[in-house]
């Protein structure tokens, strides 16, 4: 029995909900879930977007722009973390005494509305594995609900609303937001040095993951990751391990490099189950595939059904997403913003059949860039050429005195370019036939890729 929290009572007692920033990629799936459960919704946003169109298609009243009068009739106001505390709608809710709830608390409350919540966590790979599990369950008629941190091409959305009791949910450790959730099944992929501006130490970060997986009854963990194993000590849950070594419950054998990714046999406790050919590049995706396979098998999906679904999975949006060939070079986009992710993506790119790999990188947050500067240099050095933008500070002020030039000057062939139009100019001038250009970062560097697409016309 899941322990109810204060927000659960609020959600149970209200009928009309207003969502500030309803068109955000994290808010839209929650709006769809609430709508399916019979809540009367309204929302507001400053920007038109595909997720916003999905919400409007549900018949939800959406206001463009934020004004106090937009919350009229609301019994609960939900807001995303990107919303400022001086937002007029949030201030009006406070003036009227209307309960307010940040998005992660709403998501947490929704996890207690389902009997089979699969929470996917870890520093890297969350979106890919959440997407993969969702795709497997959808294609095998398991009718899941899902909340994903990226766009799944199969559904062209960050989420889906199903009629079963299964909720697949990407579970992010940032500022401990995932501790609002109540997973029945936890998946822990890895633990790496990220968000240390908040956690301060790796011990604190590991303890946070320990708290999350301790809430589950069944936990799938990367048995090759030392910190993951430490986080899983004394959790009181049943544990299933996956990894590259034969000490795990699930591991690969007969690994071969394929045209689109690696192929391998899935082995469970010494028994070969099936061969899978990944259609997403990178050695790290062997582990992601194993994680998704083990979870889906535990959900009752036959191995043949998992194989078919995984082999049709070509990645989540902004996860090594091929955008097409322009002017003779291939253009791709990736969300990688941590050195470990950048290195994995660039090494995967180098294993593909291209002449050069050109990384177009936008550093994200001053704290991460300053703390991991040397690691960024090592990771980016995998590329043949690097084009960098100034650091996107996001929520931070640059008290670190860090700038992109501090990284670029340590690389063999790197340049810093300000403005996405200028980045597009540099790429078009630099890239040659047979090259792979990949835009990378956790901010809005994808806009540079879109400008390149627009400039060079239809992809081949």
* pLDDT (tens digit per residue) in 278-322: 989 889 999 999 999 999 999 999 999 999 999 999 888 788 888
Coil vs helix vs strand at 144: coil
**Token duo for residue 180:** 């609002």
pTM: 0.83
pLDDT of res. 81: 82
Q: What is the pLDDT of residue 408?
A: 98
Cα of 206 vs its chain's centroid, Å = 19
Q: What is the pLDDT of residue 136?
A: 98
Q: What is the pLDDT of residues 271-280, one digit of tens each?
A: 999 999 998 9
Asked if pLDDT for residue 459 goes beyond 80, the answer is no
Nearest residue to 162 (alpha-carbon basis) of 133, 183, 122: 133
> CA 82, CA 76: separation in Å to the nearest integer?
18
Are the beta carbons of 98 and 76 closer than 8 angstroms?
yes
Which residues, including other chains, have CB under 8 Å from residue 370's CB and lie 6 or more apart?
400, 401, 402
Edge to edge, what strands does the sheet with 61-64 contain?
Answer: 61-64, 40-45, 16-20, 76-79, 100-102
Residue 351: pLDDT band (50, 70, 90) is confident
pLDDT for residue 259 is more than 80: no
127 has pLDDT over 80: yes
Inform me whether the pLDDT recorded for 88 exceeds 80: yes
The token duo for 173 is 């450790």
pLDDT at 229: 98
Mean pLDDT of 175-187: 96
Q: Which residues contact 219 (CB under 8 A, 6 or more apart)?
A: 185, 186, 187, 188, 213, 232, 235, 237, 238, 239, 240
* Burial class of residue 40, CB neighbours in 10 A (0-12, 13-18, 19+): middle
Beta strands in 271-348 (DSSP E): 271-277, 321-326, 329-334
**pLDDT digits 0-9 by tens, 232-245:** 999 999 999 999 99
Predicted pLDDT of residue 458 = 67
Residue range 35-44, pLDDT digits in tens: 999 999 999 9
pLDDT value at residue 411: 98
Binned at pLDDT 50, 70 and 90, residue 82 comes out as: confident
Query: In this structure, what token pair is assigned to residue 144?
Result: 């899941």
pLDDT band at 128 (very low <50, low <70, confident <90, very high): very high
Token readout for 143 is: 């009718």
Average pLDDT over residues 424-448: 95
Average pLDDT score, the chain: 94
- Per-residue burial over 216-252, b = 16 or more CB atoms within 10 Å of its CB, e = otherwise: bebbbbbbbbebbbebbeebebebbbbbbeeebbbbb
What pLDDT sits at residue 215? 97
**What pLDDT is recorded for position 261?**
85
Among 223, 440, 183, residue whose Cα is nearest residue 337: 440
Neighbours of 85 (CB within 10 A): 8
Radius of gyration of the chain (CA): 22
Q: Please provide the size of the chain in residues.
A: 460
């Amino acid at each position: 029995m899941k322990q109810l929290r204060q927000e659960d009572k609020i959600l149970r007692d209200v009928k009309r909900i207003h969502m500030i920033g309803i068109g955000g990629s994290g808010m839209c799936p929650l709006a769809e879930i609430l709508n399916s459960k019979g809540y009367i919704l309204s929302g507001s946003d400053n920007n038109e977007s595909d997720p916003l169109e999905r919400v409007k298609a549900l018949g939800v009243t959406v206001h463009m722009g934020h004004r106090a009068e937009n919350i009229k009739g609301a019994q609960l106001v939900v807001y995303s973390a990107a919303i400022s505390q001086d937002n007029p709608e949030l201030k009006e809710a406070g003036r009227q005494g209307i309960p307010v709830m940040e998005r992660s608390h709403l998501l947490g409350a929704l996890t207690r509305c389902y009997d089979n919540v699969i929470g996917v966590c870890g520093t890297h790979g969350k979106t890919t594995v959440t997407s993969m599990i969702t795709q497997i369950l959808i294609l095998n008629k398991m009718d899941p609900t899902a909340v994903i941190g990226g766009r799944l091409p199969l559904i062209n959305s960050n989420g889906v609303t199903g009629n079963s009791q299964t909720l697949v949910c990407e579970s992010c450790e940032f500022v401990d937001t995932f501790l609002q959730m109540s997973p029945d099944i936890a998946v822990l992929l890895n633990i790496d040095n990220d968000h240390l501006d908040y956690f301060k130490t790796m011990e604190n970060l590991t303890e946070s993951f320990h708290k999350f997986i301790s809430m589950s009854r069944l936990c799938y963990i990367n048995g090759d990751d030392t910190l993951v194993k430490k986080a899983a000590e004394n959790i009181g849950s049943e544990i299933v391990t996956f990894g590259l070594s034969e000490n795990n419950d699930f591991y690969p054998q007969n690994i071969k490099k394929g045209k689109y990714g690696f192929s391998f046999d899935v082995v469970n406790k010494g028994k070969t189950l099936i061969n899978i050919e990944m259609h997403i590049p990178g050695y790290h995706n062997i582990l992601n595939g194993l994680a998704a396979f083990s979870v889906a098998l535990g959900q009752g999906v036959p191995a043949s059904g998992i194989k078919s679904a995984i082999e049709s999975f070509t990645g989540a949006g902004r996860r090594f997403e091929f955008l097409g060939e322009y002017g003779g070079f291939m253009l791709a986009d990736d969300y990688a913003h941590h050195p470990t992710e950048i290195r994995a993506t660039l090494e995967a790119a180098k294993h593909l059949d291209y002449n050069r790999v050109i990384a177009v990188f936008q550093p994200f947050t001053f704290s991460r860039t300053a703390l991991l500067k040397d690691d960024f240099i090592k990771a980016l050095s995998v590329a043949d050429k690097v084009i960098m933008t100034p650091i996107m500070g996001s929520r931070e002020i640059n008290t670190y005195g860090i700038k992109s030039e501090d990284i670029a000057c340590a690389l063999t062939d790197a340049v810093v370019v300000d403005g996405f139009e200028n980045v597009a100019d540099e790429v078009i001038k630099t890239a040659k036939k047979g090259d792979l250009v990949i835009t990378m970062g956790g901010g809005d560097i994808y806009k540079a890729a879109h400008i390149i697409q627009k400039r060079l016309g239809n992809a081949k």
